[in-house]
Structure 1
């Protein structure tokens, strides 16, 4: 690149875009949104299970990120920061809904063949509904989205050990709700 000539906005890093946004650039945040909206929507959809509610959560999250961009301290990746904001927007929306809010339908069939039947997935969804919010959020990120424990800790604003214990307790509670002993797989319904 020639000195003194600015790089096209699409070539800038997420951090550079966020810094430009904070400095008043009118296009930088739009590029961040374009890059990450689909991934954030996927996380929101898995968390709230309703496409319209997921879209609202993504909108809430990106508006919050737009307004609070100067609060980004650079201690984590911009995508981790955005994940945290969007997950928090999802949790806020779920808290405000009726207690009968359905949980996401987790497609565990992709990871484990023994979860392939609809009945088993519904049993698992029902069991997930019984978990405390913190355990459910940790399991969604770590087990459903394969987010590393360290990144999930940043997203949820807790220590790595807390994520590990929430996942372990959540998995144990799921097994108990499903009537399984440790290591046992759910049987397919006929």
Structure 2
């Protein structure tokens, strides 16, 4: 039995410290993932906190045939989507700059190279914002978070074939959007 499986079993038996260890193990990765989905550090923190509360309350529903992080990610992702549906506020350019401004500075690059990279990142963020939720989500999961197709299928509750076709359409749409922005 893996260390994580032992922690899950202990948490199911009421050991709050075991669940606390699961939180500490996954909170940074989950926050980074939700930051990509929500594009707001404050919103990502709220989503992650909500996800851990829900996970604690529903831990007995966790199917041990999947990975704990995948299950936890799905809870957080659903929470983020619910919040987005309630808000339906489009992100301003200033908020995009906030997100891209938190990237580490690579001292090897010249100022011109950093500026160009920043412009590319900003262009991609703006283009991603123009995509449908379906296309943006699948691109973020695969291209930014490097999830395997199987995990994406489980998170989105779709088949692997659907993941592949949506990803292909999303990449095409992103490319067309970026090309349209350059003209």
For residues 56-75 of structure 1, the aligned pairs below 5 Å read 56-75=46-65
- 1:148 equivalent in alignment to 2:138: no
CA distance in 1, matches of 2:146, 2:116: 19
Aligned length: 168
TM-superposed CA distance for 1:116, in Å, is 4.4
CA distance in 1, matches of 2:132, 2:86: 16
> In the alignment, what sits opposite 1:124?
124
- 1:15 equivalent in alignment to 2:19: no
For residues 149-164 of structure 1, the aligned pairs below 5 Å read 149-164=149-164
Q: Does the aligned pair in 2 maintain the 1:94–1:101 contact within 8 Å?
A: no
TM-score by length of 2: 0.80
Partner deviation per Cα, 1:25-79 (whole Å, 9 max, x = no partner): 2221111001111100110111111111110010011111011101111121111
CA distance in 2, matches of 1:61, 1:101: 23
Runs of 4+ in 1 over 4 A off after TM superposition: 102-107
- 1:28 equivalent in alignment to 2:18: yes
CA distance in 2, matches of 1:150, 1:178: 28
- 1:84 equivalent in alignment to 2:69: no
- 1:93 equivalent in alignment to 2:83: yes
- 1:137 equivalent in alignment to 2:137: yes
- 1:37 equivalent in alignment to 2:27: yes
Which residues of structure 2 form unaligned runs of 5+?
107-112
Indicate the larger mover: 87-96 or 141-150. 87-96
Q: Does the aligned pair in 2 maintain the 1:83–1:155 contact within 8 Å?
A: yes
- 1:179 equivalent in alignment to 2:179: yes
Which residues of structure 1 form unaligned runs of 5+?
1-10, 181-185
> In the alignment, what sits opposite 2:37?
47
CA distance in 2, matches of 1:118, 1:26: 43
TM-score by length of 1: 0.78
Larger Rg: 1
TM-superposed CA distance for 1:179, in Å, is 2.1
**Matched position secondary structure for 2:179:** coil
Distance 1:47 1:116, change over 3 A: farther
Q: Does the aligned pair in 2 maintain the 1:60–1:89 contact within 8 Å?
A: yes
**Greater share of helix:** 2
